[in-house]
């Protein structure tokens, strides 16, 4: 695998850097730094989306014929890495990177024409209705029912851990449309309007005190038959496609590496309690080096997956490996940040957001204020998108052939 950039890619990287230097506002960077959650709040995320959309760079992972940039996999990687290094927030992944590729690959022409422009404009803000209270990691055991009634489906059931459902006006849902076949074969993929009777959203506060996830209840919710994506019973195939994109559609190493760089830089100003700086402590340096090697290994695997995509191949089960490594590295880096700040890293204010004019005053600094909340929030990394145990099973079966 050749990882050297071509002159054209070098020029593209320069273009991206110049754009970020000129167009990424400080308040958006501050909001990203002060957000302990995986998804930044819409006041930050949607503003950044708008800036990128005006530039024509928001749909950088979409094909050109449906409004994408037409960038190569290498260019997409360069863009993500430079955004991470510039301190930009994560993009609104649920619409842009999850449901949009599903609509592009499995949807009708009418669905593409209706929904894709509204994702780019921000008119539609999506959440994901997959997990259920009694299903655990066995997604195929879901019980939400969608019963066909003429030109519509009637939807009943409940979804849980639904990120940003309290902000969303749309939800993509896996529902059971046939109970007479094996569980994977009876599932369908539906696009649901959240702004209608029968839908209620109950907040779930995380250990850090953040309102990021919810439980969604659906009682006789109406879904037009035109909002079925693919065929009835094709939902499991579509879900596997979506989850493969979720686990391998982005590069996690640049962002984790950026956060590790921040921790390493700040450690030069922290006393080690023995008359020196923490950055000179051998145990500390050993922890940094171990994590640095982990980030570099993750980056090499992500680049290998990009190389496969560039050749027209599917990402493959290696995406489970990147999900596994990224989740654990994320947690380890966040723990390192808590350790860096000592007692200051234990502060856990209940007020939100931790950025902007109304943010509570931090003890020591803003990064110390968010450290504990970010550490607690990142406990979910080894659960969402498929638990570590699920990823290990996939890797054992499909990568190692066990």
* Pairs from 145-151 (Cβ < 8 Å, separation ≥ 24): 145/175, 145/176, 145/177, 145/179, 146/173, 146/175, 146/176, 146/177, 146/188, 146/190, 146/223, 147/177, 148/177, 148/225, 148/232, 150/225, 151/224, 151/225, 151/226
What's the rounded Cα separation, in Å, for the pair 336 and 328?
Answer: 12
Percent of the chain past pLDDT 90, that is, above it, reads: 75
Instruction: Give CA angle at 355 (352, 356), nearest 5°.
Output: 110
Nearest residue to 19 (alpha-carbon basis) of 81, 91, 79, 89 = 79
Judge whether residue 50 has pLDDT over 80: yes
- Give the model confidence (pLDDT) of 277-310 as tens digits: 898 899 999 999 999 999 999 999 888 888 777 7
Q: What does the pLDDT average to over 217-229? A: 98
**Which residue(s) pair with 173 in the sheet?**
129, 190
Instruction: Give CA angle at 167 (335, 370), nearest 5°.
Output: 20
- Give the model confidence (pLDDT) of 102-159 as tens digits: 999 999 999 999 999 999 999 999 999 999 998 877 888 999 999 999 999 999 999 9
User: Which run of H or E residues covers position 148?
Assistant: strand 145-149
Per-residue buried b or exposed e for 188-224, using 16+ beta carbons within 10 Å of the residue's own CB: bbbbbebeeeebebeeeebebebebbbbbbbeebebe
What is the number of alpha carbons within 13 Å of residue 204 lying toward its C-beta? 14
Judge whether residue 248 has pLDDT over 70: no
Please report the pLDDT score of residue 1 as a whole number.
Answer: 47
Please report the pLDDT score of residue 135 as a whole number.
Answer: 83
Measured over all CA atoms, what is the biggest interatomic distance in the chain, rounded to whole angstroms? Answer: 77
pTM given for the model: 0.90
Domains of the chain with bracketed CATH: 7-91 (no CATH), 126-234 (2.40.110.10), 251-399 (1.20.140.10)
In sequence order, what are the residues at sequence separation of 6 or more whose Cβ sits closer than 8 angstroms to the Cβ of residue 276?
none
Return the active site residues: 246
């Amino acid at each position: 695998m050749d990882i050297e950039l071509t002159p054209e890619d070098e020029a593209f990287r320069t273009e991206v850097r110049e754009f970020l230097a000129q167009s990424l506002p400080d308040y958006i960077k501050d909001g990203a730094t002060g957000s302990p959650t995986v998804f930044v709040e819409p006041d930050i995320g949607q503003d950044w989306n708008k800036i990128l959309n005006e530039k024509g760079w928001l749909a950088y992972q979409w094909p050109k014929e449906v409004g994408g940039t037409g960038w190569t996999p290498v260019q997409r990687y360069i863009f993500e890495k430079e955004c991470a290094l510039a301190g930009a927030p994560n993009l609104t992944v649920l619409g842009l990177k999850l449901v949009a590729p599903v609509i592009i690959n499995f949807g009708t022409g009418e669905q593409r024409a209706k929904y894709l422009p509204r994702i780019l404009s921000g008119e539609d803000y999506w959440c994901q209705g997959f997990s259920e209270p009694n299903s655990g990691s066995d997604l195929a055991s879901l019980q939400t029912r969608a019963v066909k009634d003429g030109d519509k489906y009637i939807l009943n059931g409940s979804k849980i851990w639904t990120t940003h459902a309290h902000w969303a006006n749309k939800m993509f849902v896996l529902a059971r449309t046939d109970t007479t076949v094996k569980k994977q074969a009876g599932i369908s993929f539906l696009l649901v309007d959240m702004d209608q009777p029968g839908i209620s959203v109950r907040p779930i506060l995380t250990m850090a005190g953040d309102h990021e996830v919810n439980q969604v209840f659906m009682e006789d919710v109406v879904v037009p038959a035109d909002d079925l994506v693919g065929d009835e019973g094709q939902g499991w195939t579509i879900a596997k496609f979506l989850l493969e994109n979720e686990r391998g559609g982005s590069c996690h190493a640049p962002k984790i590496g950026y956060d590790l760089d921040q921790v390493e830089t700040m450690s030069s100003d922290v006393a080690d309690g023995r008359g020196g700086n923490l950055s000179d402590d051998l145990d500390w340096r050993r922890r940094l080096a171990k994590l640095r090697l982990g980030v570099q290994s993750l980056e090499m695997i992500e680049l290998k997956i990009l190389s496969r995509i560039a050749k027209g191949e599917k990402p493959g089960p290696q995406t489970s490996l990147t999900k596994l490594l990224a989740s654990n590295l994320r947690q380890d880096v966040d723990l390192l940040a808590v350790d860096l700040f000592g007692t200051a890293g234990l502060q856990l204010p209940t007020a939100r957001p931790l950025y902007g004019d109304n943010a509570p005053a931090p003890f020591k600094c803003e990064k110390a204020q968010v450290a504990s909340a970010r550490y607690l929030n990142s406990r979910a990394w080894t659960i969402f998108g498929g638990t570590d145990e699920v990823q290990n099973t996939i890797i054992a079966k499909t990568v190692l052939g066990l």
